[in-house]
Amino acid sequence: MKKNRFFTAKELVFRESDGTYYAVSLSFGVFAEGNTAEEALTNLQHATIGYLMMCIKENETEEKIYRGAPKHYIDVCKDFEKEHIKPPQKFAKKRYTSRMSSYSSEGSYVYA
């Protein structure tokens, strides 16, 4: 029996000018979209679990798994956190599990 592995990620959800919401895993570099912030985040969580399951199946190292999002998204999140221009809406910490891994969200920041 394989040992479960545990992962933690920080996520960013933002709305584009066309009204579409995009969610980014800043830790894993996984993206998703939705019609609402909640839908985008849910889609991201499903995509992240799929990504992690693939990584585990391929025996990827932690360094490869935590590949990170493009620097632009990380900088956007840091700028908002630092400036506190518009405080982010923080979702509750959640845990998502699959047969092969457990994925815990540190909290998702939503900027609209």
- Residues 19-67: tens digit of each pLDDT: 999 999 999 999 999 999 899 999 999 999 999 999 989 999 989 999 9
pTM, rounded to two decimals: 0.72
CA–CA dist 107, 26 (Å, integer)? 11
- Residue 32 · residue 17 · CB < 8 Å: no
> What range defines the domain where residue 89 resides?
5-111
Total domain count for the chain? 1
